[in-house]
Amino acid sequence: MADDKLQEYQCPNCGGPLEFHGDVQKMVCVYCDAQFEMSQFNQNSPKVGDEQPTHWEQAQGQQLEAGAAGMKEFQCNACGAVMVSDGQVGATECPYCGNPAILESTFEGINLPDGIIPFVKSKQEAQDAMSGYYSGKKLLPNNFISDNRVEKIQGVYVPFWLFDCDVNGSAFYRAENRRTYSKGEERWEEIKEYAVSRSAVMRYEKVPADGSKEMKDEYMDSLEPYDFSKIIPYQPAYFSGYLANKYDESADDVKERVNRRIKNTSEQQIRDTVRGYDSVRTESSDIRINSGKIRYCMLPVWMLTTRWNGANYTFAMNGQTGKVTGDLPVDNGKATRMFLLTSVIALAILEALAYFIFCQDEISIFALIGAAVIALIIGGVTVSSAKASMVSHLKTEAKEFLVKDSFRLTAQNDRHIDTRHRKISGGN
């Protein structure tokens, strides 16, 4: 059988994971049938899962120099966010952390974005969306939000890095098909095993990652998608009336997160081409990112952060599409009441059903306990789904940025390697 330590070596022919076969004292590739002498492999031979370098290139953008006329700079001394405006608008409180004492400082210059998506949604639309967002939440504490908070919502251009790249990926799988058959009185199962390999190319465009430490990645991911076909070259007029957040996370800082999203989606896309099997197990995969390009952009977000019971809760709206997100505090008293109420109603319905189905006056104790357990589960599920609607979620894939029709299989091989038979029942 395969030796655990040696199994991780890669086949020099096809890249598949190799196994050591004791009977022939050789490394064997089940994907292309090649055999290799042990002496061919040493410490430096490529191993499955070795990290491949990914290459990203970044354009050098324009700068607005320190001291430019009319420009103002604000720094939040609580969270460190630095924002710039053209003087038409001041910052009354920090949109990221809700700190009300935000100070004007000397304008130190700003790197101008290569492109910008201008605001489409007005302040009034943002305020309406915010009121609507809060009103639908059953577990929100009553005194959390007051009308005058809604006034304070601010339009912020959030700095963004957009990643374009080509991907070459390959993956190796073990797949099985099972069927049962009769042999006289006996039932048997036939298991056919296959070694499956796939290689594919695909392209991603404008995979976004924000360049702001203060902007939580979950919020930005929840606000996606932006319509990036509407990106236009930066012009100073677009900043007018809004705050522009200076980036404090470089493209280098966010690269790993983007790589991971692209890798996850690429693996899934390739996996989806393995069809016609009862079960498929991934043995190894190798995703390489080529000719990567990074651009610096600014995206519009309406934002407001409220401090409540010692924690920050941010409401954010996509300034282009109107999509909203946010974290909201959960009122534990309300959650408990919702749990009890849902469970009691579910129990009453279940008992009534049991009564009519069995048409008897005395329902057994087991039916009672069973119904009670089901009722508690229904109550628990109701509360946790209400809670889930109150937090934003971090994205781990990049499917919507996969360029349509760019996915192409460059190699595929489905190889039958073994058939086993197993008696299920019957006979002696």
- Burial class from Cβ neighbours inside 10 Å (0-12, 13-18, 19+) for residue 60 reads exposed
| 91/299 with CB nearer Zn ion | 91
| 82/130 with CB nearer Zn ion | 82
| 101/369 with CB nearer Zn ion | 101
Tell whether the torsion through CA atoms of 111, 112, 113 and 116 is positive or negative.
Answer: positive
| Alpha-carbon span 36 to 222, nearest angstrom | 49
User: Is the bond preceding 225 in cis, omega lying within 30 degrees of 0?
Assistant: yes
Minimum distance of Zn ion from residue 338's CB (angstroms): 33
Minimum distance of Zn ion from residue 174's CB (angstroms): 14
| Alpha-carbon span 304 to 222, nearest angstrom | 15
Minimum distance of Zn ion from residue 17's CB (angstroms): 9
- The H or E element spanning position 377 is helix 365-388
Minimum distance of Zn ion from residue 53's CB (angstroms): 23
Minimum distance of Zn ion from residue 161's CB (angstroms): 21
| 166/248 with CB nearer Zn ion | 248
Helix (H, G, I), strand (E, B) or coil at 127: helix
| 149/334 with CB nearer Zn ion | 149
Strands 56-58 and 279-308: parallel
| Alpha-carbon span 329 to 343, nearest angstrom | 23
Strands 243-245 and 154-183: parallel
| 259/305 with CB nearer Zn ion | 305
Q: Which residues is 188 bridged to in the sheet?
A: 181, 423
In order of 216, 339, 343, 351, 378, the CA distances from 348 in angstroms are 44, 14, 9, 5, 12
Minimum distance of Zn ion from residue 95's CB (angstroms): 8
Query: Residue type for 297, please?
Result: C
Minimum distance of Zn ion from residue 10's CB (angstroms): 9
**Alpha carbon 320 to chain centroid, angstroms:** 21
- Residues of the shown chain interacting with Zn ion in the complex, contacts defined by CB under 5 A: 11, 13-14, 16, 29, 31-32, 34, 76, 78-79, 81, 94, 96-97, 99
Q: Which residues is 367 bridged to in the sheet?
A: none
| 118/159 with CB nearer Zn ion | 159
Structure token pair of residue 402: 């996969």
Minimum distance of Zn ion from residue 84's CB (angstroms): 15
| 96/339 with CB nearer Zn ion | 96
